[in-house]
Structure 1
């Protein structure tokens, strides 16, 4: 292929590529700013619900009645809604708000606790005695948090209303008393074009 023809072909290819990419516009959005395009559960919903629930939880008398600084662990939060909600992200929002309050300690649970214990066992075998973390020195949780996310969908003539409901409860592990029960709803109304799949 002659050099001039090759140059014209290359230029045409570059122009086509630029025209093809020109339709996409991307905007960077500040952290915490709402960016909802559908009626699906969003990161903002996780944060709003976590803040409201923890504020309510910490206003109940259980926190003053505890004989030591409360140590809370999350047992489970189940998703029973109509969509795939990243429950781990919501649970992390709950943990962050609990820790930010400074009023309670937070104790890890489940797989995370087992990984920490494996690390301690590894240290016992491989780390120096001066730096190894002692086994059997964990802080025990005295309160357990659990709950559920559900949803209700109402649809009529091109409009849809979705209500997400989060129910959480806090149990005193020593007495099995339910010391707090909270509920928070998020409602979203959308037109047909914004319906999530």
Structure 2
């Protein structure tokens, strides 16, 4: 078998393999659109739950009471641990970022870095102390202490019969005063999805 023939044969095989995938079609969609293919927790659930729960949190009586107690100064919030106790893998970091975004964009609270982020920032401060010029070094001991910590859990229940399935999610969030350990707000959001052979229904 000549070398030229081999090259032509491999080229032909590559062409036909490529053609076999030509039926695939990719369509870009709005990132804010509601899409449910499998019925699993998705980006829409994360975004809508975060927005709704943060709006509820900031609209409760604790907020005005704390503003009054602090002489008009807005409270400072940090997000603590959010646990996934559901039946499936959920990207908790995405949900936390959605909550952070809602908190910051509300303009009603100050927001500080979480424990992991603070550790990285402190490492940077230590590095600056030994390497940056004196006029550009940032000083330690200047952090803003949070007044409140937001924590939560995501749980789920599955009910299945034959080819039909109902998936129930519950997100529970708590806002706790760091000084007194007093819980100032508890909220929950429930999502129920009916999954059948014909598609997903919320």
TM-score, length basis structure 2: 0.88
Q: Distance in 1 between matches of 2:55 and 2:104?
A: 12
CA distance in 2, matches of 1:9, 1:192: 43
CA contact (8 A) 1:168 1:183 kept: yes
Give me the whole-angstrom Cα distance separating, in 1, the residues matched to 2:43 and 2:144. 31
2:64 is aligned to: 64
Relative to structure 1, the CA distance from residue 5 to residue 65 in structure 2 (aligned partners, 3 Å threshold; closer, same or farther) is same
Instruction: Report the Cα offset of residue 110 of structure 1.
Output: 1.8
Q: Which residue of 2 aligns with 1:50?
A: 50
> Which residue is equivalent to 1:137?
142
Report the equivalent of 1:173: 178
Residue 111 of structure 1 and its aligned partner are, at CA, apart by: 1.6
Give the root-mean-square deviation of aligned CA atoms. Answer: 2.1
Structure 2 residue runs of 5 or longer lacking an equivalent are none
After TM superposition, the structure 1 = structure 2 runs for residues 124-163 of structure 1, keeping only pairs within 5 Å, are: 124-163=129-168
Secondary structure of 2:23's counterpart equals: coil
Task: Extract structure 1 runs of 4+ deviating beyond 2 A.
Answer: 1-15, 192-195
Deviation at 1:118, TM superposition (A): 0.7
Correspondences of 1:36-115 after superposition (within 5 Å): 36-66=36-66, 67=70, 68-115=73-120
Shift of 1:128: 1.5
Alpha-carbon separation, structure 2, partners of 1:192 and 1:15: 36
With over 3 angstroms needed to count, the CA separation of the structure-2 counterparts of 1:2 and 1:117, relative to structure 1, is closer
Question: 1:160–1:192: 8 Å Cα contact kept in structure 2?
Answer: no
User: SS of 1:72's equivalent?
Assistant: strand
* Aligned equivalents of 2:154, 2:182: Cα separation in 1: 22
CA distance in 2, matches of 1:83, 1:193: 22
Which whole-Å deviations, capped at 9, do the CAs of 1:108-132 have from their partners, x for residues lacking one?
1222111111111111111122211
What residue ranges of structure 1 are gaps of 5+ in the alignment?
none
- 2:12 aligns with 12
1:150–1:5 distance in 2 versus 1, CA, 3 Å: same
Residues 77-105 of structure 1, C-alpha deviation per residue, up to 9 Å, x if partnerless? 10110001111110111101000001001
Give the drift of 1:51: 0.5
